[in-house]
Amino acid sequence: MSSVKKSEEEWRTILSSEQFRILRQKGTEPAGTGEYDKHSAEGVYSCAGCGTPLYKSTTKFNGNIGLLQSGCGWPAFFDAIPGAVSRHDDSSLGMIRTEITCTACGGHLGHVFKGEGFDTPTDERHCVNSISLKFYDEK
């Protein structure tokens, strides 16, 4: 996977202010506001910063367990395209969480949570900011 290196000023010129806040400054969009939260078309979700394919629609799920919802409010995936997403310890909220970033450009995507009991092959939930993604239909 190729690496995308840009200065913060270069990122500011190609990203919207909200994309920059989330992808480059590790922000979070408000729950339930992203365009891909309930999105269900078939295709590929790529990094909004560099265009690297990150997730396939076949790994996206709505986070339901019977009548329970994950409460995520962001797109949830149970796995990424191999090598596309990197994991890092994040202790910014006083607890250890696993941050996920685009391997190619380092853009912040969200966090991954394990062992929540979802009926998925990995029992993981990649909770991703919609604004960190760009969707491409399968054709």
Tell me the residue ranges of DSSP E strands in the chain: 43-47, 53-56, 60-61, 64-65, 68-69, 76-77, 85-90, 97-102, 108-114, 124-128, 133-137
- In this prediction, residues 58-75 reach a mean pLDDT of 67
In this predicted structure, which of 11-15, 19-23, 66-70 has the lowest mean pLDDT? Answer: 66-70
Confidence (pLDDT) at 116? 86
Cβ partners under 8 Å of residue 64, min gap 6: 70
Percent of the chain with pLDDT strictly greater than 90 = 65
Any idea which fold 8-137 has?
A: 2.170.150
Q: Which residue's entry shows tokens 């996977």?
A: 1
The catalytic site residues sit at 127
**Of the candidates 117, 60, 127, which has an alpha carbon nearest to the alpha carbon of residue 87?**
127
Could you state, in order of their start, the residue ranges of all structural domains in the chain? 8-137
- Whether residue 22 is predicted with pLDDT greater than 90 in this model: the reply is yes
The C-alpha atoms of residue 137 and residue 40 are separated, in whole angstroms, by: 11
Q: Is 55 exposed, middle or buried (0-12, 13-18, 19+ CB in 10 A)?
A: buried
Does 30 score more than 80 pLDDT?
Answer: yes
Quickly count: other Cβ atoms within 10 Å of residue 133's Cβ: 25
Q: Please state the rounded mean pLDDT for residues 12-40.
A: 93
